[in-house]
Amino acid sequence: MNSAAWIEKADKYIMKTYGRYPLVPVKGEGCYVWDADGKKYLDFLAGVAVNNLGHCHPAVTAALSKQAHELIHCSNYYHIPQQIELAELLCSHSFADKAFFCNSGAEANEAAIKLARRYSREKHGSDRYEIITALSSFHGRTMATVSATGQEKVQKFFDPLLHGFRHVPFNDAAALREAISPCTCAIMLEPIQGEGGVVVPDASYFQEVRKICDENGLLLIFDEVQVGMGRTGKLFAYEHFGVTPDIMTLAKALAGGAPIGTMLATDEIAQAFVPGTHGSTFGGNPLVTAAGIATVNTILSEGILNRCEEIGEYLMGELEALKGRFPIIADVRGIGLMIGVELNAPGGDIVKKALERGLLLNCAQEKVLRFVPPLIVGKKEVDEMLATLTDILEEMK
Catalytic residues: 138, 223, 252
Contacts by 201-207, CB closer than 8 A, 24 or more apart: 201/170, 201/171, 201/241, 202/171, 203/241, 205/171, 205/173, 205/241, 206/238, 206/241, 206/242, 206/243, 207/241, 207/242, 207/243
Q: What is the DSSP string of 48-81?
A: HHT-TT-BT-HHHHHHHHHHHTT-S---TTS--H
**Residue type at 365 in one-letter notation:** Q
Helix axes 81-92 and 286-301, enclosed angle (nearest 10):
30
**Smallest Cα–Cα separation from 336: which of 242, 203, 235?**
235
Q: Report, in this order, helix, strand and coil percent for the chain, each rounded to 5.
A: 40, 20, 40
- Dist. CA 295–CA 64, nearest whole Å: 11
- Dist. CA 41–CA 170, nearest whole Å: 35
Q: Which residues 6+ apart lie within 8 Å of 215 measured at CB?
A: none
Q: What is the DSSP letter of 183?
A: T
